[in-house]
Amino acid sequence: MSGSARHNGRVNPVPYVGRFAPSPTGPLHAGSLVAAVASFLDARAAGGRWLLRMEDLDRPRCEAGAADAILRQLEAYGLVWDGAVLVQSQRDDAYAAALDALKVQGAVYPCACTRSQLARTQLNQAPRNPEGEILYPGTCRNGLPPGAVARAWRVRVPDVSTRFHDRIHGDLQQNLAHDVGDFVVKRADGLFAYQLAVVVDDAFQGVTHVVRGADLLWNTPRQIYLQTLLGLPTPAYAHVPLVTNAAGQKLSKQTRASALPETGRGAVMAEALAVLGHPPPAGLAGAEPAELLSWASAHWQIENVPARPAVANAAA
Ligand code: GLU
């Protein structure tokens, strides 16, 4: 037999590998549950693997004990992952190798600008990207100013439109030069930036499908650009609705979202499924999370997931 993927005359479809990548800055809340459930169901409905990655890259923002708490919450909500958890704080060598590859190509440059300098340069009519971040004015793009000391590494972005497809939001495009600017891949505090780590790790874990919260939608072109530079495959992307509080703010530690409850988990899971456009049938009222997930993976249709955000119950 040859090494092809042919069995019984059929070519096996590309195996699906999905992932959930929480940042251990606090326990999971109703919003992070929606992202976890969506990525889990999309993987399981495709007969795929669902991996877990602990994104503890930004050490100062991580909370002691949060990573373990998240694992316990996932188990309690019936979200059972495959294989070992990949931990970003142990992956610096891989990120350093990727940064070296970018340096060799001249795709990145050292930057000496401080946050306060950048804020001052742009005090008037500061151009900002859709997430409200200040665009980098390109001060160090053609070399450090005399006497300046390198602090961070930035990637040089092209003035072209990056087109991409999102399975929920459709065909989109973004011009990185206009909407983002040259972005940081290694920070002034010596930590690697999320954009670089996520691209390196998605490729390392063989991720074929990224399903995550819509707050990350406009990070996708940056990640696709880094994948192109590093010769890494681009996964399929789907960005699921954010859950907001009554004031329209994304649930997060900053907006004091409560941790997922330890009782009444079935009702919380049913609510997450409703946010994802898959409300369980009345016959499953009172069911435990695992039973709801098994119903949902049999009925999962990404076309039914709405693009608009959802407002959480007052309890969230
Ligand atoms: N760690 C990120 C977060 O918790 C998710 C990153 C990703 O899914 O690409 O928001």
Homologous superfamily of the 93-186 domain (CATH) = Glutamyl-tRNA Synthetase; Domain 3 (3.90.800.10)
pLDDT of residue 6: 45
Query: Measured from the CB, is residue 216 less than 6 Å from ligand 1?
Result: yes
Map out the domains of the chain as residue ranges. Answer: 5-91+198-311, 93-186
- Residue with more model confidence, 302 or 122: 302
Q: Is the pLDDT of residue 34 over 60?
A: yes
Of 52, 54, 59, 216, the one to substitute when testing ligand 1's pocket (max ligand atoms within 8 A of C-beta) is: 216
Lowest mean pLDDT among 26-30, 46-50, 101-105, 177-181: 177-181
Same fold, 5-91+198-311 and 93-186: no
pLDDT, tens only, 182-229:
999 999 999 999 999 999 999 999 999 999 999 999 999 999 999 999
Query: What are the pLDDT digits (tens) for 211-220?
Result: 999 999 999 9
Q: Which atom of ligand 1 is nearest to the CA of 212?
A: 8
What are the structure tokens assigned to 66, written together? 């949060």
Q: Looking at residue 116, what is its pLDDT? A: 79
Burial class of residue 275 in the structure, from the number of CB atoms within 10 Å of its CB (0-12 exposed, 13-18 middle, 19+ buried): buried
pLDDT of residue 183: 95
Give the Cα separation of 9 and 32 in Å (integer).
Answer: 42
pLDDT tens-place string over residues 132-158: 767 888 889 999 989 999 999 999 999
Does the beta carbon of 209 lie inside 6 Å of ligand 1? Answer: no
For 66, counting Cβ atoms within 10 Å of its Cβ (0-12 exposed, 13-18 middle, 19+ buried), the class is buried
CA distance 72 to 66: 10
Top-confidence residue, 24 or 135: 24
**Mean pLDDT across the chain:** 91
Class of domain 5-91+198-311: alpha beta
Residue 179 near ligand 1, beta carbon < 6 Å: no
pTM score, whole prediction: 0.92
251 in ligand 1 pocket by Cβ < 6 Å? no
